[in-house]
Amino acid sequence: METLVVGGISLMLVIYLFAAMIWPEKF
C-alpha cells in the first residue's frame, strides 16, 4: 500500500513537471 502511495505521488510530480514544461505561462 505504501508503494502505491509513493507511486501516485511520483506520478503526480512527473505530470506536474511535464505540464510546466509545456505550459510555462500557467505556472
Count up the domains in the chain and report the number: 1
> CB-hemisphere CA count at 13 Å for 22?
6
Tell me, what's the pLDDT at 1? 74
Tell me, what's the pLDDT at 14? 96
DSSP 1-27: -HHHHHHHHHHHHHHHHHHHHH-GGG-
Tell me, what's the pLDDT at 23? 85
Tell me, what's the pLDDT at 24? 72
Which domain covers residue 8, as residue numbers? 1-27
Tell me, what's the pLDDT at 12? 97
Tell me, what's the pLDDT at 6? 95
Q: What is the pLDDT of residues 1-27, one digit of tens each?
A: 789 999 999 999 999 999 989 987 766
Of the candidates 27, 5, 3, 6, the one whose C-alpha atom is nearest the C-alpha of residue 16 is 27
Question: Which pTM was predicted?
Answer: 0.56
Mention every residue, 6+ apart, whose C-beta is less than 8 A from residue 20.
27
